[in-house]
Amino acid sequence: MKASEQPKKTHAAVLRALEVANLALGRAVTIEEIIEALAPEERVLLERTYDFPLGAVIGSILKLLSVPSENRGLVYSPGLTNSRRRCFASTRVLKPEEAALPEAVTRRELVVALVRHAALELGRAVRIVDAIKFAEDRPEYARLSASQIQNAIIAAHVKGELISMPLRGLHRNLYLPADLNPEDYAPPKPLHWIEWVKAAFEDLWDEHVRDAKELGRLPRPATTRQVRARLVEMGCDDPKLQDKATVVNALWELSKHSNAALRRISRRSRKSLFWCPVDVPDDGLDLGNAYASDLERVGAAVARATARLERPVTLREIEQEVENDSALRPMNYPSVSKAVTAAVDYLDSDGNAKTRSGYIQGHVQSIGLLKAKALYYPTIGNAEQARAYVEFRQLEEAWEELRADEQLYEAQGCRLPTVAVGRVRLLALQARRFAGRLRGMIGAGELKGKWADEAEILIERAEAIDERARDWPLPFAVGEHQLPEQPSDLVPTLTKEELRALLHPIYPHLQQKVERAYQVTTLLSNRIRRVSTLFSLHKQYDRTDALFFAARRFGGKECVFLAGLASAELGLLRDPTFIFPAVEAADPDARLAAVACLAFLQTEKGSDLLKTRVMKDNEKGIRQSALWAYAFAQGEWAHDLATVMMRHDGAEEVREFAAQIAKADGAAIWLL
């Protein structure tokens, strides 16, 4: 061929690769084999020159070189392969009668060769995804699609040309040519997520079995948290480990499959799960001392404490159980109290358990308060009897606070006979109610055993007080008054918010320490009486007792004097009906005591009677005290009455006192 007749560089590169392939294989070759014979620089030349796939470019050049002409006719095609792929040969290398076609290779045989090639290069058996990825950059396999490789591997496995090796997971999806030894090509580490989780569980279970043999007990099941920790120890580099949910999801998958490798042991909460091999029964496990979560540990501590003490328990008693057994110590919470808070089912207004989340069911229920301490009980226990116990102890506590014997004695020293009668009748009413409620609880079976015996003792004490109160002699001066047989036991109350608003202007320590209403209870402790009401599940503050506290702590001489007088006279009586008759008593001391009581009870009728005393009482001192009491009770005519008193009583001390009353406003009145 002349120099002017030389082919283009690209054509020459293809022709050279064709001849190299013909010489190497001794036969006609396919386009894929020609591509494999290209030198790197020739491949780069073709890719830069043409903007088409390399196989299409080579096919077009071969077609041009096969056309007879002055500088062509150098290539010919002896035919097609059995897979309908055309073969080519160079006239300068192979004569047409000598050009043999490639041996017939089926797609399945080609895929088996692919699996062999991949296994030898990777050094292990391969998954279908490994084979597909391996074929991507090999031109000899370029004509195979991912679905064709998958179907061919399955067909070769059925015919025995490929063997499968089981992963640690559920699926048998590692493949190897049948003539290779599986032991030599076993993967050195897990290949995907489900296999990592299965390997971690098996390693953990082997450790549990060894520990059980050393300690002479049954093995304990594994928890999700332990499996996750073992994955970290094994060096798992799968990004799914960063998401906690993927571990439990993988364990669920390993337990739900028809060929399950493990099984789950459900606890009271969906998140509290144990895992063990599928062939290990419950009686082959140590389930009594195994806990899947801190919530279960706390629940077990509460159950042990209640079984030992036979009643609901406090936080300190739960902590004592944890101290006695280190297996109950929380692992994810900084303290037992935090774990108890997370494990509690709180009760709604109907006494039903109300969980913090609809997904997690609590292991402990909060039964109530006793002496400002919360009591806890297992959710699987008899909550009705536990609540009855708490109510019984609350009644017992309230009875002790009542100090019934002291009240009967103190009633004898009252200045006002009507008040003495009211206090004794109120005490009798409370004693009957205590005894009646306790008898009802015993009759309904809410209190049993030693609780019922203790309740019987308290009933006897209450009935004895009731009998003594009924036999208490009425003072002679009461006969002319129409007093109610049953005094009102309703107590005017203040909420924490109302008490904070009441004390805030005059209580410096409260201003500094209390930012929220609930802190009032901590600050005041038991210095103000608290009572249960019909409209709240929580105790509220006795308004009259709160006024006594404020008057004694921050009041002036008049304020402190009248507060002490009223407090000693009233006791626990809050019914003003027993005060009204004494306002017009002949004895000045009785009228003064009545004025003091009405100042702190603060009723509408009481304010009207105080106003009358200011205008009509014969004693100047009582008029002054009545004016102070009327102003203290927020009487709307306090300023006008003060002006009238200044004109009526000319004494200097009266004028000064009345002027202070006239100027007083709101809480400042307490400082007089």
DSSP structure string for 393-415: HHHHHHHHHH-HHHHHHHHTT-S
Lowest mean pLDDT among 34-48, 64-78, 326-340, 509-523: 509-523
pLDDT bracket for residue 166 (50, 70, 90): low
For 208, what's the count of Cα atoms within 13 Å in the CB-facing half-sphere? 25
Instruction: Read off the pLDDT of residues 561-576 as tens digits, 9 standing for 90 and up.
Output: 999 999 999 999 999 9
Q: pLDDT digit string (tens) for 276-308?
A: 888 888 778 776 666 767 777 888 888 888 888
Q: Which helix (H) or strand (E) covers residue 540, if one does?
A: strand 536-542
DSSP-based three-state secondary structure for 157: helix
Task: Sort residue 236 into left (φ over 0), alpha (ψ -120 to 50) or beta.
Answer: beta
- Per the CB < 8 A criterion, the answer to whether 278 and 342 are in contact is no
Span 249-278, pLDDT tens digits: 888 888 876 677 788 776 554 445 788 888
Q: Which residue bears the tokens 């009897």? A: 385
Confidence check: pLDDT of 597 > 90: yes
List pLDDT tens digits, range 383-409: 888 888 888 888 888 888 888 888 888
CB burial class (10 A; 0-12, 13-18, 19+) of residue 578? buried
**pLDDT beyond 80 at 156:** yes
110-126 average pLDDT score: 87
Average pLDDT of span 498-521: 75
- Cα separation, 111 vs 146, in Å, equals 11
Mean pLDDT of all residues belonging to the chain: 80
Task: From 125, 183, 163, select the one nearest 134 (Cα to Cα).
Answer: 125
Helices within 171-314 (DSSP H only)? 193-215, 224-233, 244-256, 294-309
Rg (CA), the chain: 48
Closest CA to 615 of 649, 589, 580, 657: 649
- Is 462 in contact with 487 (CB distance < 8 Å)? no
pTM of the full predicted structure? 0.56
Q: How far apart are CA 50 and CA 10, in angstroms?
A: 10
Task: Give the pLDDT mean for 115-123.
Answer: 87
Q: Could you report the per-residue pLDDT of 414-473, keeping only the tens digit for each?
A: 888 889 888 999 999 989 998 999 999 898 888 888 888 999 999 999 999 989 888 888
DSSP classification of residue 88: E
Write out the DSSP string of 85-128.
Answer: -EEEEETTT--TTT-PPPPP--HHHHHHHHHHHHHHHHTS-B-H
pLDDT at 652: 56
Amino acid type, 435 = A
Residue 669 confidence (pLDDT): 44
